[in-house]
């Protein structure tokens, strides 16, 4: 079954409420529908489930908006009848990264609110990423993956397979989700390996959007463009075409593209903990 989205009038009709009620719940912070570029609200299967629970808490339990928000965050109320699982018919290795994270969150019985609090992201960002596999920075995606005890490489399918030899033709890379600032990461080696080998294409203005750290060591080689990496929050290094850099991954690090055009890097982590 493919993912679907309802417009506000359709969602209101499905719940037996008015569109103004859905707008009120949004103003009260109970829901965050997806917005199209034109500003139109869209409601998917998961959000419709949440709306059903809100309606049940309001009509059957008589809770106000504050109590409803607390109940949703604590996962105390009985769940309203759920819509069919939109990912159930897909094999795990065929699922987009966002759908994989949604499955992991549901299986661990965590709400979007609890994951957002634990990872320093927002509910709207997580909800959008689960639906589209877009909208998170590299730093945020790393934090979410770590929260679920996995890595971005595993989620993107890089850390799978048993072959020792790996041939990846030029341009035939598998890729991670493009970040919110235009960071595109391509896998240069397939399978579960000691080295995580990637090509980073950084659009103008692209950055990590914050610092992160993990186990291991890293090597960067600049194929083209200009790049800045910051270690420990106060050590700034500027790299240009042909420059390379090596550092310990446990040191908090952030980075950004300094060039007016695309900057391209070869980036290797060992072991594959990112």
Residue 152 lies in a domain: no
CATH number of the domain at 61, please: 1.10.1660.10
Question: So what's the pLDDT on residue 160?
Answer: 52
Residue 181 lies in a domain: yes
Is residue 127 domain-shared with residue 164, that is, in the same domain? no
CATH number of the domain at 248, please: 2.60.120.10
4 — pLDDT class (breaks 50, 70, 90)? low
Residue 21 and residue 9: Cα distance in Å, rounded?
A: 11
Residue 203 lies in a domain: yes
Is residue 130 domain-shared with residue 33, that is, in the same domain? yes
Q: Looking at per-residue confidence, does 160 or 76 come out higher?
A: 160
Q: What does the pLDDT look like over 249-263, one tens digit per residue?
A: 999 999 999 999 999
Residue 1 lies in a domain: no
Is residue 17 domain-shared with residue 88, that is, in the same domain? yes
Is residue 185 domain-shared with residue 86, that is, in the same domain? no
Q: Would you put residue 195 in left (φ > 0), alpha (ψ -120 to 50) or beta?
A: beta
Question: So what's the pLDDT on residue 164?
Answer: 58
Is residue 21 domain-shared with residue 130, that is, in the same domain? yes
Q: What does the pLDDT look like over 82-105, one tens digit per residue?
A: 444 433 434 445 578 888 888 888
**DSSP summary character for residue 123:** H
Number of structural domains the chain divides into: 2
Q: Which domain holds residue 108?
A: 6-147
* Element of type H or E holding 3: none
Question: So what's the pLDDT on residue 91?
Answer: 45
Residue 59 lies in a domain: yes
- In this prediction, residues 181-187 reach a mean pLDDT of 87
The residue out of 105, 124, 147 marking a domain boundary is: 147
Residue 106 lies in a domain: yes
Residue 164 lies in a domain: yes
Residue 234 lies in a domain: yes
Residue holding tokens 């989700």? 177
192 — pLDDT class (breaks 50, 70, 90)? low
Comparing CA positions, the residue from 231, 21, 252, 33 lying closest to residue 143 is 252
What is the number of other CB atoms lying within 10 angstroms of the CB of residue 186? 19
Is residue 215 domain-shared with residue 266, that is, in the same domain? yes
């Amino acid at each position: 079954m493919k993912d679907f989205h309802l417009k506000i009038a359709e969602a209101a009709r499905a719940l037996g409420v008015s569109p103004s009620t859905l707008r009120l719940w949004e103003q009260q912070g109970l829901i965050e529908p997806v917005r199209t570029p034109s500003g139109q609200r869209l409601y998917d299967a998961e959000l419709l489930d949440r709306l059903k629970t809100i309606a049940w808490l309001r009509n059957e339990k008589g809770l106000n908006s504050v109590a409803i928000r607390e109940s949703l965050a604590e996962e105390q109320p009985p769940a309203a009848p759920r819509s069919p699982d939109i990912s159930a018919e897909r094999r795990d290795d065929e699922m987009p990264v966002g759908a994989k994270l949604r499955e992991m969150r549901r299986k661990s019985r965590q709400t979007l609110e609890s994951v957002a609090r634990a990872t320093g992201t927002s509910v709207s960002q997580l909800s959008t990423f689960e639906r589209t596999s877009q909208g998170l920075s590299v730093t945020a995606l790393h934090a979410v993956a770590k929260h679920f005890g996995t890595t971005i490489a595993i989620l993107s399918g890089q850390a799978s397979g048993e072959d020792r030899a790996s041939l990846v033709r030029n341009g035939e890379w598998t890729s991670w989700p493009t970040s919110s600032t235009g960071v595109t990461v391509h896998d240069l080696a397939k399978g579960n390996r000691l080295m995580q080998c990637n090509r980073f294409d950084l659009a103008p203005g692209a950055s990590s959007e914050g610092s992160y750290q993990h186990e291991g060591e890293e090597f960067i080689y600049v194929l083209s463009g200009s790049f800045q990496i910051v270690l420990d929050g106060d050590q700034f290094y500027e790299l240009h075409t042909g420059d390379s850099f090596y550092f310990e991954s446990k040191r908090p690090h952030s980075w950004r593209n300094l060039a007016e055009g695309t900057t391209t890097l070869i980036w290797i982590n060992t072991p594959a903990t990112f």
